[in-house]
Amino acid sequence: MRPPPLWLLSLLLGGLGAAAPQPDPVPQLAAPQHLELHLYNDEQILSWEPSPPSNDTRPVVYQVEYKYSTGSWNTFKGVNCTDITVTKCDFTGGGRLKGFPGLYSVLLRVRARQGERTSDWVTSTKFQRYCNVTVGPPKNISVTPGKGSLTLHFSPPFDVAREAVFEYRVRYWEKAGAQQVRGPFKKNSIVLDNLKPLRVYCLQTEAQLIVREKNICRPGLSLSNVSCHETAAEASTSLCAILISMGIFSLLLALTGACRFLFRKYQSRAKYWFQAPPNIPEQIKEYLKDPDQPILEALDKDSFPKDDAWDSVSIISSPEKEQDDVLQTL
């Protein structure tokens, strides 16, 4: 049998060695951009910009994972940061997780997913909460005025572990006066003494975080709202005010007693002085208006009514009869 030509053999061998055609690969989804970590007091929030839009109308969801410097990547179980449509993950938003510990080094990463398509992971920079947190002012501030002093009570900006502590400073000034600073204080109660009594002072407080044995200091970047309060009087000033009030009261009491004594002693004169002026009878007023009127006859007639009469007259005794009775007795 005659062998096939070489060109036909080469064609058959080339066809057997050719690979089957592969389907087109699924295009990869664009990754999230510009990761930003927000650390303010208790708040720990990671946010990012969404993936660029595409022709696919299916929703894009995001997955967030974390790990410590010596561990592996983990998904969040205490908060909802898996398959979320929003572009942020709040680590303190609820559940058992209350944020990352103060001095642990933490890494975060995010990726997008749309159906079967996924993006590459985007990793944030490493951070430590106590080293990167922004410290706000103290909370729940109350001020109690005292005798030439002001006492402040407040709460720390957020709770810290044993390895950290807060220090506080108070800025205060008299109205239209120069500002002064006192501190640092480590207690949540501060007494500003040696102030002027009965003066108005305005206050602002600030806090800074000190991490022991790490030489880490996070100063507060914001001050509390301005509040103004008036100091109370000193003890000597209060005593003088009480003595003056008692003296005035005693003087008024003495004057009242003297007035009552004088009124009783000169009661008749007082009544004479304060009695109403006599009134002119109506007949005299009419006479003064018209002198030609026979006012005297009218008064005489009025003083003796026509209807007055006597039924009988009895003589009880007479001087002559008394004398006769005396002579007969003798």
Q: In the chain, what are the domain boundaries? A: 33-131, 136-233, 236-265
Sign of CA pseudo-dihedral 296, 298, 303, 308: positive
Per the omega criterion (within 30 degrees of 0), is the bond before 184 cis? yes
Token pair for residue 250? 């005693």
The pLDDT of residue 319 is 55
Query: What pTM value is reported for the model?
Result: 0.61
Which element (helix H / strand E) includes 63? strand 61-68
The top-scoring range by mean pLDDT among 14-23, 284-293, 295-304, 321-330 is 284-293
Q: Note whether 33-131 and 136-233 share their fold.
A: yes
The pLDDT of residue 165 is 92
Q: Give the count of alpha carbons within 13 A of 241, CB side only.
A: 7
d(CA 233, CA 148): 6
17 band by pLDDT with thresholds 50, 70 and 90: very low
Percentage of the residues of the chain whose pLDDT score is greater than 90 = 41
Q: Which comes out higher in pLDDT, residue 249 or 84?
A: 84
CATH topology of domain 136-233: Immunoglobulin-like (2.60.40)
d(CA 206, CA 221): 8
Is the confidence at residue 95, as pLDDT, over 70? no
The pLDDT of residue 324 is 55
Mean pLDDT of the 90-107 span: 76
pLDDT tens for residues 144-169? Answer: 999 999 999 999 999 988 889 999 99
The pLDDT of residue 257 is 77
Mean pLDDT of the 122-147 span: 93
Residue 244 and residue 219 in contact, taking contact as beta carbons nearer than 8 Å: no
Is the confidence at residue 200, as pLDDT, over 80? yes
d(CA 260, CA 256): 6
Cα–chain center distance at 176: 24
d(CA 88, CA 161): 27
Q: Which comes out higher in pLDDT, residue 162 or 307?
A: 162
Cα–chain center distance at 24: 65
CATH of domain 33-131: 2.60.40.10
Give whole-number Cα distances, 97 to 90, 135, 151, 193, in Å.
Answer: 10, 21, 37, 43
- Number of C-beta neighbours around residue 111 at 10 A: 19
d(CA 175, CA 230): 11
